[in-house]
Structure 1
Amino acid sequence: MQDQKRATRYGLATVAMWSTVASAFKLSLAHLAPLQLLFLASLASCLTLAVVLAATGGLRRLAALTPAQWRRSALLGALNPFCYYAILFAAYDLLPAQEAQPLNYTWAVTLSLLAVPMLGQKLRRRDLFAILVSYSGVVVISTHGDILGMRFASPLGVGLALASTIIWALYWIWGAKDDRDPVAGLLANFLCAVPLCGLAMVLGPGLPPPDWPGYAGAAYVGVFEMGLAFVTWLTALRCAENAAKVANLIFLSPFLSLLLIHFFVGEAILPSTVVGLGLILAGLGVQRGRG
Structure 2
Amino acid sequence: MSDNSKACFYALATALLWSTIATAFKIALSHLDPWQLVFWSVATATLLLTIMVIIQGKAGLIFSQFKQSPGLFLVLGLLNPFLYHIVLFGAYDRLPAQQAQALNYSWPVALTLLAAPLLGRKLSMSSLLCCLLAYAGVLIICTRGAFQNLDFSSPTGVLLALSSTLIWALYWIFNTRRAGDPVVGLLICFICGLPWIIGATALFSGFWPISVKGLAAAAYVGLIEMGFAYILWLKALKLADNTAMISNISYLSPFLSLIFIANILGESIYPATYAGLMMIIVAVLAQQHLSAAAKSRTQTS
**Equivalent position of 2:246 in the other structure:** 246
Could you tell me whether the CA contact under 8 Å between 1:126 and 1:286 is conserved in 2?
A: no
Distance in 1 (alpha carbons) for counterparts of 2:65 and 2:248: 34
**Equivalent position of 1:40 in the other structure:** 40
Distance in 2 (alpha carbons) for counterparts of 1:196 and 1:269: 36
* Structure 1 residue identity aligned to 2:228: L
Distance in 2 (alpha carbons) for counterparts of 1:5 and 1:84: 33
Is 121-130 or 155-164 further displaced after alignment?
121-130
Structure 1 segment 243-282 matched on structure 2, within 5 A? 243-282=243-282
Distance in 1 (alpha carbons) for counterparts of 2:20 and 2:245: 22
Could you tell me how far 1:68 is from its partner in structure 2? Answer: 4.4
Could you tell me how far 1:207 is from its partner in structure 2? Answer: 2.0
Write the deviation string for residues 39-64 of structure 1: whole angstroms up to 9, x where unpaired: 00000000111121122212121143
Q: Say if 2:64 is the partner of 1:64.
A: yes
Distance in 2 (alpha carbons) for counterparts of 1:32 and 1:208: 10
Structure 1 segment 186-201 matched on structure 2, within 5 A? 186-201=186-201
Distance in 2 (alpha carbons) for counterparts of 1:277 and 1:109: 13
- What's the secondary structure of 1:289's corresponding residue? helix
Could you tell me how far 1:6 is from its partner in structure 2? Answer: 0.9
Distance in 1 (alpha carbons) for counterparts of 2:175 and 2:242: 23
**Equivalent position of 1:98 in the other structure:** 98
* Structure 1 residue identity aligned to 2:7: A
Write the deviation string for residues 208-260 of structure 1: whole angstroms up to 9, x where unpaired: 32301110010000011011111111111011111111111111000000100
Is 204-213 or 256-265 further displaced after alignment?
204-213
Write the deviation string for residues 15-55 of structure 1: whole angstroms up to 9, x where unpaired: 11110000000100000000100000000000111121122
* Structure 2 residue identity aligned to 1:198: I
Structure 1 segment 100-249 matched on structure 2, within 5 A? 100-249=100-249
Could you tell me whether the CA contact under 8 Å between 1:38 and 1:197 is conserved in 2?
A: yes
Could you tell me how far 1:180 is from its partner in structure 2? Answer: 2.0
Could you tell me whether the CA contact under 8 Å between 1:32 and 1:208 is conserved in 2?
A: no
Could you tell me whether the CA contact under 8 Å between 1:18 and 1:253 is conserved in 2?
A: yes
Distance in 2 (alpha carbons) for counterparts of 1:66 and 1:205: 30
**Equivalent position of 2:73 in the other structure:** 73
Distance in 1 (alpha carbons) for counterparts of 2:70 and 2:223: 23
CA RMSD of aligned residues (A): 1.4
TM-score, normalised to structure 2, is 0.93
**Equivalent position of 1:288 in the other structure:** 288
Distance in 1 (alpha carbons) for counterparts of 2:66 and 2:150: 51
Could you tell me whether the CA contact under 8 Å between 1:70 and 1:188 is conserved in 2?
A: no
Distance in 1 (alpha carbons) for counterparts of 2:213 and 2:126: 45
Sort the Cα spacing of 1:197 and 1:66 in 2 relative to 1 into closer, same or farther, 3 A.
closer
Distance in 2 (alpha carbons) for counterparts of 1:230 and 1:41: 14
Distance in 1 (alpha carbons) for counterparts of 2:69 and 2:184: 11
Give the number of aligned pairs.
290
Is 36-45 or 126-135 further displaced after alignment?
126-135
Write the deviation string for residues 71-118 of structure 1: whole angstroms up to 9, x where unpaired: 322110000000000000000000000000010011100000001111
Write the deviation string for residues 128-178 of structure 1: whole angstroms up to 9, x where unpaired: 121111101111111111011111111110000000011001001011021
**Equivalent position of 1:11 in the other structure:** 11
Distance in 1 (alpha carbons) for counterparts of 2:39 and 2:74: 16
Q: Unaligned regions of 5+ residues in structure 1, if any?
A: none
Q: Unaligned regions of 5+ residues in structure 2, if any?
A: 294-301
Could you tell me whether the CA contact under 8 Å between 2:62 and 2:188 is conserved in 1?
A: yes
